[in-house]
Chains A and B, each alone.
Chain A
Amino acid sequence: MNIGEMIAHHVLDHDWGISLGGFRLPITNHSVTMVVVSILLVAGMYFVARTGANGKRSLLTTLAEEYVTFIRDGIVLPNIGETGRKMLPYFCTLFLFILSMNLVGMIPEAKTATSNVSVTAALALYTGFLIFHNGIKAHGLIGFLKGFVPEGTPVWLAPFIFVLEAISTIIKVGVLAVRLFANMFAGHLVLFCLLLIVFIIGKLYLVGGIGAVLPVMGMEVFVSCLELLVAFLQAYVFTLLTSIFVGSVVQGH
């Protein structure tokens, strides 16, 4: 196995799916991780919610309350306003889902589903749906479409600007998907490539390879800490941007 294959094996998704009567059911590392983490999250949150409903106080209940308050007062209400209260469960789920997916990749043998562009694109599509749904709900279809042309635009230029603004909304959603994917993918690639330095130097000169172990381990620890920060940061950025986009459509557009 050459180095390129090793990197691809480590970073890319692997499909060991089954075929059922001509229908392909893809079971991949990322989809399994996603399903397992989702089940754990639903079960965990159900447990926390039930504990809270019984009137018992525990550390988990307090943590969950703090988390919801943070999403509500820090992200949803400042950017969307009172309309955002109805969407609070979605934002809480979105943040927790992305954060869990990002963090689970730090566990050895587990895979980061958010380093798969299909997963981030699906999440971004939900954001796109929220933007269009809330825009049409707040202003009506005509009002929403009118919002694509800024006030004071000359009439002859309006169709051109309309097309550009409509595409730029799609680009905004696309950037959201690429940002999360690129950050998570690049982080794991860097971690793995750092490890490979030891083997590459070792192949050229064995003592040099052994000598490179300690410095590379130091860098690995540093990049892993950075990855932890990025996991939280990207989950926050994705949720914040979703709320800002929805807010801009609901309030002003």
Chain B
Amino acid sequence: MGFRHISKEDHIAISSLGMSFAVSVVGCVLLGYWLDTLCGTVPLLTFLGTIAGFALGMYLLVRVAKNLDRQKKEGKR
């Protein structure tokens, strides 16, 4: 099958991609909200946390995709 080049580690990385994305967004939003209530800057840091969490989630997604692409190219060689 076409999945032979994917290592066990990457299978797990793929299976937890969705949860990584969710945890990074929710974690950053909560962190932003907590800092907001601490500094009294509602909703500035919550908003920034949302953007940062989304960026982090996308970074994790792209990193796994790039890693898989590299492995596929190495497998073809």
| Chain A interface (Cβ < 8 Å from any Cβ of B) | 164, 167-168, 171-172, 174-175, 178-179, 237, 240-241, 244, 248
B59 interfacial by beta-carbon distance below 8 Å = yes
Closest to B63 in A: A168
Q: Are A179 and B16 in contact, CB atoms less than 8 angstroms apart?
A: yes
For chain A, what secondary structure do more than half of its interface residues adopt (helix, strand, loop), or is it mixed? helix
Q: Which residues of B contact A164 (CB under 8 A)?
A: 56, 59
Check A171 against B20 for contact (C-beta < 8 Å). yes
- Does any Cβ of A come within 8 Å of B19's Cβ? yes
Residues of B within 8 A of A244 (CB): 8-9, 12
Task: Tell whether, in the assembled complex, residue B19 and residue A168 are in contact, meaning their CB atoms are under 8 Å apart.
Answer: no
Which chain A residue lies CB-closest to B27?
A174
Query: Do A175 and B20 contact each other (CB < 8 Å), given the known contacts A244-B12, A248-B9?
Result: yes
Interface residues of B in 1-48 (CB under 8 A from A): 8-9, 12, 16, 19-20, 23-24, 27
Q: Which residues of A contact B20 (CB under 8 A)?
A: 168, 171-172, 175
* Beyond A168-B24, A171-B23, 18 additional pairs, beta carbon < 8 A: A164-B56, A167-B24, A168-B20, A168-B60, A168-B63, A171-B20, A171-B24, A171-B27, A174-B23, A175-B23, A178-B19, A178-B23, A179-B16, A237-B12, A240-B12, A241-B12, A244-B8, A244-B12
Chain B binding surface SS class = helix
Which residues on B sit within 8 Å (CB–CB) of A174? Answer: 23, 27
Q: Which residues of B contact A168 (CB under 8 A)?
A: 20, 24, 56, 59-60, 63
Q: Which residues of B contact A (CB under 8 A)?
A: 8-9, 12, 16, 19-20, 23-24, 27, 56, 59-60, 63
Chain A residues closer than 8 Å to B63, beta-carbon distance: 168
Q: Which residues of A contact B24 (CB under 8 A)?
A: 167-168, 171
Instruction: Report the minimal beta-carbon distance from A51 to chain B, rounded to whole angstroms.
Output: 36
Complex Cα gap A244–B56 (Å): 22
Which chain A residues border B60 with CB–CB below 8 Å?
Answer: 168, 171
What are 21 A-B pairs at a CB distance below 8 A? A164-B56, A164-B59, A167-B24, A168-B56, A168-B59, A168-B63, A171-B20, A171-B24, A171-B27, A171-B56, A172-B20, A174-B23, A174-B27, A175-B16, A175-B19, A178-B19, A179-B16, A237-B12, A244-B8, A244-B9, A244-B12
